[in-house]
Amino acid sequence: TPQLPQPDAQPDPQAGAAVKAADRAHVFHSWSAQELIDPLAVAGAEGAYFWDYDGNRYLDLTSGLVYTNVGYQHPKVVTAVQEQAARLTTFAPAFAVEARSEAARLIAERTPGDLDRIFFTNGGADAVEHAVRMARLHTGRPKVLSAYRSYHGGTQQAINMTGDPRRWASDHGSAGVVHFWAPFLYRSRFYAETEEQECARALEHLETTIAFEGPQTVAALVLETVPGTAGIMVPPPGYLAGVRELCDKYGIVFVLDEVMAGFGRTGEWFAADLFGVVPDLMTFAKGVNSGYVPLGGVAISGEIAETFARRPYPGGLTYSGHPLACAAAVATIGVMAEEGVVENAARLGADVVGPALRELAERHPSVGEVRGVGMFWALELVRNRETREPLVPYNATGEANAPMAAFAAAAKAHGVWPFVNMNRTHVVPPCNVTEAELKEGLAALDAALSVADTFT
Ligand code: PMP
């Protein structure tokens, strides 16, 4: 077994300063105003924790960007990557390679229905791009329907489909993308008061949208099974089954984006399993190999695979099914199966996180709503519980975001790194987190919410 990095017994602020200086001089960071950021220099990580060069250790309630589903530096995954590197580090996609075929087999065994062919990509956004291309070629239709409250990735097609305000700057006329409202009872667009109303009205709105767009022009309907970045809104019972019916009725390819929700996050292998729904295409990334080496993909139904049985699929990537990434996937799926990681997420979500967050909501006026499942939870923070006015405005930056910055700083002062997006904090630790670690994280959230309460 490899030597795991240890929390630095002797802090080395000088080394940290050198890492930071080179970063500030040369690394151009995602989604950031380059001079306004102050990235933490990370010295190491293990399991659910990481630490900096100054001797500070943090419990990571974010799983990186919601991807380290088996935690950092899992020895079995690290060893598998090392062994694959020693045996065959890389090989071009046109060849059959053991790590690649084995990863595809293990994924196909777990995906719902007949989603048995795996097209590998480098991450989530390109998986979404390829799912849409497959749907357009399969149907011969141009348009894509996607939800306003969504995130599908940072490449051009995927950002156009995204509803998150990060779309605005790059949306030069979304080629063929039409947005609709998916259900979200807490901020209902449909004046609904119950989940049943929200579900029925959201489906009626969707069918009307399809009718006015012209069903014969719609290739694909793309939804996150449980929208993640946009706020972890678990859809009401019956909604996804209703969408499946509408897609069948109008010949539209149903794509579920499980880049964030897949591979154990919701306490099932795939969130689609929570609802018993089988899409025509399903995208994945992140948790497939806990992000140890970049990997994503599209799981393809028999019917869509048939379209490309005797005519070439016009798309590919140099690193499709990269052996290092696939070896990490084989090992990660093995760890998840052997160590009961999916069951752990389901059990601790239901027995520990859900009840604890609801208890926090009772005591903290800044908590507007608690929602989630498995290791996939959101607290929506508000100024006023009656009016549901968000703690910070939509797309708040700078001073407007001061309350969330204060909340995050308080959590960090308690040794916990929180996920913060707009007026929400997401509780998304690794799926193999322990009950003791969760309790540590929840205690820090309790303290940080007391700071958020001062803004209500
Ligand atoms: N789809 C979903 C649902 C996601 O959450 C993300 C990433 N947060 C993406 C797509 C894009 O994945 P990537 O950043 O790997 O391109």
Domain of 278, CATH number, reads 3.40.640.10
Model ipTM over 0.85: yes
* Domain-located, residue 116: yes
Could you tell me if the CB of 227 is within 6 A of ligand 1?
no
Please check whether residue 4 lies inside any domain of the structure. Answer: no
Residues 310 and 359 in one domain: no
- pLDDT value of residue 170: 86
Rounded Cα gap, residues 456 and 251, in angstroms: 48
Distances (CA, A) of 356 to 8, 11, 75: 32, 34, 31
Kindly report the pTM of this predicted structure. 0.97
The answer on 314 and 334 residing in a single domain is: yes
Is 17 found in the same domain as 116? Answer: no
- Based on the fold, state whether residues 420 and 287 are members of the same structural domain: no
Q: Are 401 and 392 in contact (CB under 8 A)?
A: yes
User: Residue 107 is inside which H or E element, if any?
Assistant: helix 98-110
Closest atom of ligand 1 to CA, residue 258: 3
Cα-based angle 435, 439, 444 (whole degrees, multiple of 5): 150
Chain-centroid distance, C-alpha 388: 25
**Does a structural domain hold residue 358?**
yes
Query: 84 and 64 share a domain?
Result: no
- Nearest atom in ligand 1 to the alpha carbon of residue 261 is 3
Using the mean position of ligand 1's atoms as its centre, give its distance from the Cα of residue 327 in Å: 21
Q: Whose CA is nearest to atom 7 of ligand 1?
A: 153
Tell whether 5 is covered by a domain.
Answer: no
Assess whether 387 and 269 both reside in one domain.
Answer: no
- Check pocket membership of 123 for ligand 1, CB cut-off 6 A: yes
Q: Do 93 and 52 have their domain in common?
A: no
Question: Does the beta carbon of 152 lie inside 6 Å of ligand 1?
Answer: yes
The answer to whether residue 275 sits within a structural domain is yes
In this structure, is residue 2 part of a structural domain?
no
Based on the structure, what is the number of domains in the chain? 2
Quick one: 106 and 65 in the same domain?
A: no
Question: Which of 297, 314, 338 is the C-terminal boundary of a domain?
Answer: 338
Domain identity same for 33 and 96: no
Give the CATH number for residue 38: 3.90.1150.10
Identify whether residues 225 and 333 lie together within a single domain: yes
Residues spanned by the domain of 218? 76-338
CA of 65 to the centre of ligand 1 (A): 9
Tell me whether residue 312 is in a domain: yes
Distance of CA 259 from the midpoint of ligand 1 (Å): 6
- Predicted pLDDT of residue 9: 59
Residue that terminates a domain, selected from 308, 338, 368: 338
Query: Tell me, what's the pLDDT at 400?
Result: 87
Provide the residue-wise pLDDT of the chain in tens; the chain has 456 residues.
444 456 655 789 999 999 999 999 999 999 999 999 999 999 999 999 999 999 899 999 999 999 999 999 999 999 999 999 999 999 999 999 999 999 999 999 999 999 999 999 999 999 999 999 999 999 999 999 999 999 999 999 999 999 998 898 888 777 799 999 999 999 999 999 999 999 999 999 999 999 999 999 999 999 999 999 999 999 999 999 999 999 999 999 999 999 999 999 999 999 999 999 999 999 999 999 999 999 999 999 999 999 999 999 999 999 999 999 999 999 999 999 999 999 999 999 999 999 999 999 999 999 999 999 999 999 999 999 999 999 999 888 888 899 999 999 999 999 999 999 999 999 999 999 999 999 999 999 999 999 999 999
Q: How far is the CA of 310 from the centre of ligand 1 (A)?
A: 31
Does the beta carbon of 8 lie inside 6 Å of ligand 1? Answer: no
Residues 421 and 305 in one domain: no
Q: Please work out whether the CB of residue 281 comes within 6 Å of at least one atom of ligand 1.
A: no
Ligand 1 atom with minimal separation from the 153 CA: 11
From the list 408, 348, 430, 371, the residue with the least C-alpha distance to 66 is 430
- The domain boundary, picked from 322, 338, 354, lies at 338
Q: Is 187 contained in some domain?
A: yes
Q: Which of 259, 281, 295, 419 to mutate to test the pocket of ligand 1 (most atoms within 8 A of CB)?
A: 259
Residues 135 and 96 in one domain: yes
C-beta 279 within 6 A of ligand 1:
no
